Amino acid sequence: MKQRLIWILCSAFLLCCALGGCGEAALLDPKAPVTLTFWHVYGSQADSPMNELVDRFNATVGRERGVLVNVTSVSNSSAIHDALVAAAHGEPGAGELPDLFTCYPKTALAMGTELLLDWNDAVPAESREACVPAFLAEGQVNGAQLIYPIAKSSEVLFVNNTIFSRFSAATGITLAELSTREGEIMAARAYAEWTDALTPQTEGDAKAFLMLDDPFHFMQIAAAARGETLFDGEAIRFSSPAFEDAWAMLAQSAAEGGLCLYGDYATTAMMTGDIVCGLESTASILYYKDAVTYPDNTHEPLELVALPFPAFAGKEKTVMQRGVGLGAVRTTQTAAAAAAVFLEWITETETNLEFVTAGGYLPVRREAFEALLNGAHGTLGRAGDRRPDGLPCRAGCARSKGRAGGERERGGGRRCLCAFCGKHHNAFRGGTGRVRPVSQGPYRARDRGNAVSFHQHHQNAQPPHLCQA
C-alpha cells in the first residue's frame, strides 16, 4: 500500500512537471529541437510580419530552448478554416493538420474540441492572468482555452481626406460630424447631392459615401449600444426591435445611395475613389497605398484619416473586438511544451508590441495594452538614431520618450494626433499611406479605447525597435 502511494505521488509529480517549468527542461533539448508546423493569416508567404518574427524566434529563444517553428501556409482566415476542418475530419484530398494555426473559435468547434490543446494545461497561470480577460474569454470553450489571443483588432472609420476636404469646403461638413452614425448619414446625403451636382449634364450619377466591411458587425454594435443583443442563444432574433432598427438604418442608407453595397473589402473601393469612407478593421491600414487610382487611370495622392467608430446618438460607445488566436493540435507533451514556449514569446510585452504595430493590431497583455493606450511606446525615430543596445535604429523604429517628453523629435517633421494617448506625434510616411496631422480633429483622450495608434502603423517593412532620443 505504501509503495503504491509513493508511485502515485511520483506519477503526479512527473505529470505536473511535464506541464510546468521543470517539465519543459526535461522534455525540450536544444540538441534535438522539436519542429512545429504553423499556418497563419498574417500577410503573405513572401511578406509577413509574423514570418519575420518566427525567423527571429528560431534564431534566438527557439534555438536556446530546442523549438523550431516552420511556417508552411500563409492564407486568409476563411481558407485556413476550410483546410483545418477538412484535415480534422479526414476529408479526401485534405492535408495533414499543422501543429500550430491561427483561427477563430468557430473553427475550433468545427474541428472538434477533443483534437485541440487546452492552453490552460501548457501556459503558466501568471502568463494567462497577464492577458486582457475579454481577449482570453473569446477563445474559451467549456472552460478550456482552445484559442489563445496573440493580436486583436477593432473597427475604425477610414476617410479619404483628399476627397473629403473638397467636399467639406463646398458644404461646410467637417470630420467632427462623422463621430456619430446620424452625422454620417447626413454627410452621405449631402455627398450624394454634391457629387451629382458636379456633373449637371449627367443625371443620377451621385456617388456613395460609405462602405461597411461587415454589415452584420454593424448591426451587432448597433444592438449592443442600446444594451441589447441580436442573439437568442445561437439563433438570431430577427423580430427584435434591435434587429429591426439596425436593419432599417442600413436599408435606408443603401436605398438613398449613401451606403455602397459591394462584394469586396472597403479598401478596394476606397483606392478607386468610388467611396470616401470605409468602416473596416484596423488591420486594413496595411492595404492602403499612397495614391488613389480612378477608373480613367488618373491618380491622386491619398491623405488618409482614421477616426473612431461612429457612435449612436444618446447610446453607449461600443466597438467590435476582432482577430484570430493561436490554436494547437493536441499530440504529445513535448509538442505542447514547445508550443507554449513560442506562445509565451509571441505574447511577451515587447515582442507583442512589435508585432501588433507592424500589422495594425492591438496587443493582448494588459501591460502592453495599457502602454499603447498611454503612449508609453514612444514615437517613431529615424535612421541614424541608436537603440538601447547600441545598434542603429531603422527609419520608422519606435522611439522612447526623450528629454522633450516624446512630444517632438529632432529636426521637426509632420505630426499627427494619436487616437490612444491624445498627444501629437511625428507621423511616419511609409508605403501604406499617409497620416494626416490632425491638430484640431475629433480625436480626444476619451476616444482612445476604440482606435489604434496609427502613427506607428505606417511603416514600410521592418517591425519597430525602441530607440533612444
Q: Where are the beta strands (DSSP E) in 355-460?
A: 379-380, 398-399, 415-417, 424-426
Residues 95 and 146 in one domain: yes
Residues 192 and 255 in one domain: yes
- pLDDT band, very low/low/confident/very high, at 411 (cuts 50, 70, 90): very low
| pLDDT number for residue 117 | 97
**Do 40 and 71 meet the contact criterion of CB atoms below 8 Å apart?**
yes
| pLDDT number for residue 166 | 96
Q: Which amino acid is at 51?
A: N
Residues 133 and 37 in one domain: yes
Q: For the chain, how many structural domains are there in total?
A: 3
pLDDT tens figures, 32-76: 999 999 999 987 655 788 999 999 999 999 999 999 999 999 988
Average confidence (pLDDT) over 294-318: 87
pLDDT tens figures, 85-113: 999 999 999 989 999 999 998 899 999 99
| pLDDT number for residue 45 | 59
pLDDT tens figures, 356-410: 877 778 899 988 877 776 654 443 333 344 434 444 433 333 333 322 222 222 2
Instruction: Determine if residue 293 is left, alpha or beta; phi over 0 gives left, psi from -120 to 50 gives alpha, anything else beta.
Output: beta
Average pLDDT across the chain, whole number: 75
Residues 144 and 281 in one domain: no
In terms of average pLDDT, the best of 26-30, 145-149, 308-312 is 145-149
- The span from the CA of 224 to the CA of 228, in Å, is 5
More confident residue, 46 or 448: 46
Residues 352 and 408 in one domain: no
Q: Supply the range of the domain harboring residue 134.
A: 16-153+323-366
7 located within any domain:
no
Q: Is the pLDDT of residue 164 over 60?
A: yes
Segments in 348-389 forming alpha helices (H): 349-359, 366-373
Average confidence (pLDDT) over 424-430: 31
Residues 34 and 114 in one domain: yes
Residues 165 and 290 in one domain: yes
What DSSP character marks residue 394?
Answer: P
Percent of the chain exceeding pLDDT 70 equals 73
Q: Is the pLDDT of residue 450 over 70?
A: no
216 located within any domain:
yes
pTM of the model: 0.65
More confident residue, 454 or 174: 174
Residues 102 and 46 in one domain: yes
| pLDDT number for residue 4 | 41
Residues 360 and 390 in one domain: no
| pLDDT number for residue 378 | 41
Average confidence (pLDDT) over 288-297: 89
- Of 282, 247, 257, give the one whose Cα is nearest residue 267: 282
- The span from the CA of 370 to the CA of 453, in Å, is 12
CATH number of the domain that residue 87 is part of: 3.40.190.10
In terms of average pLDDT, the best of 22-36, 132-146, 326-340, 380-394 is 326-340
- pLDDT band, very low/low/confident/very high, at 256 (cuts 50, 70, 90): confident
| pLDDT number for residue 26 | 67
1 located within any domain:
no
